Amino acid sequence: MTLTKARHIALLFNANTAFNRDIMAGIAAYFGSMGAGWELFVEEDFRLCMSGIAQWRGDGIIAGFDDPAVAAALSRTRVPVVAVGGSYACEDEYPPGIPYVATDNFKLVELAYAHLVGAGLRRFAMFSLPKSMENRWAQERENAFLSLMQRDRMATEIFHGCSTIAHSWDEELQRQIAWLQSLPKPFGIIAVTDAQARHLLQACMFAGIAVPEQVALVSIDNDPLECALAPMPLSSVIHGAQAMGRTAAHMLNRMLLGANLADTRILVPPAGINVLASSQHQAF
């Protein structure tokens, strides 16, 4: 259905990630399929408009709520908002009164785990991130891993990598190598992001640890740039990000037509896992 009145919709996402770009592509595809009448506003750096976003006089907002600053800024707006981000096991973690479209963190990890089990592995670890408000999605993936390990009565092994910067890279690399060398082989590791997986592959190369004969690695995000920068082919779980974008746009359209979708939660499962034919001898 095409609306006759032009609608002004703001998209507040960090477009530096492939995940968010795919969500935005899904939003654009949905509104494009409806014909004229929609104007999408995208800030080059959406964080610059956060202080005044509550006073914005547009018709609706679709925003990435993994960033706590965005969630806080939009808690005061009267414009219809649809939130997009990672899923939470605890309902209280979702923003109250706002419809939310989530990538299903449990199913992302479950698919990566099933892939390693299918490769014949019986020992597993997760390469995660330190706990912070900015990466609650990583904590949810870590909790999903712990739940799966408990379900299958497996020993739990988790390593928290740090954000790497030039002057600390050597120190972090040595820390990762020490952890990898401590693991009984063979071992399957799930990395919470492609960037983390890329760092771990570099550590394996420096330490002379064979991949996948000793360490098999699967990551999450399927970010083309991160996978291209990895020192060897990388298997990665694919978000249903474009489906998330289309779903969020459809929900906002319904709200503009009068639907009450407060506290509606839609979890979108992963689209699959990208296993490059050239990586089968290296990263399953």
Alpha helix positions (H), the chain: 18-33, 68-74, 105-118, 136-151, 169-182, 194-207, 224-229, 241-256
Strands in 60-64's sheet, in edge-to-edge order, are 38-42, 7-12, 60-64, 81-86, 100-103, 265-268
Q: Are residues 51 and 172 in the same domain?
A: no
> How many residues are present in the chain?
284
Residues with Cβ within 8 Å of 151's Cβ and at least 6 positions away in sequence, in order, are: none
| pLDDT for res 277 | 39
Name the residue among 228, 116, 235, 215 with its Cα closest to residue 159.
215
| pLDDT for res 152 | 96
Task: Give per-10-residue mean pLDDT for the chain (284 aa).
Answer: 70 90 95 83 68 78 91 86 96 94 98 96 96 92 97 94 71 93 96 94 95 95 90 93 97 95 96 69 40
CA distance 99 to 266: 8
| pLDDT for res 57 | 80
Quick one: 58 exposed, middle or buried, by C-beta within 10 A (0-12, 13-18, 19+)?
middle
* Full domain range(s) for residue 136: 105-238+273-279
Q: Indicate the DSSP class of residue 150.
A: H
| pLDDT for res 283 | 40
| pLDDT for res 49 | 61
- Quote the pTM value: 0.90
In a domain, 2, yes or no: no
Residue keyed to tokens 């001898």: 281
In a domain, 284, yes or no: no
| pLDDT for res 47 | 62
For residue 156, what is the domain's CATH number?
Answer: 3.40.50.2300
Residues with Cβ within 8 Å of 105's Cβ and at least 6 positions away in sequence, in order, are: 86, 87, 88, 137, 140, 141, 144
Name the domain count of the chain.
Answer: 2
Q: Are residues 111 and 230 in the same domain?
A: yes
CB-CB contact of 106 with 270 (8 Å): no
Q: Are residues 248 and 229 in the same domain?
A: no
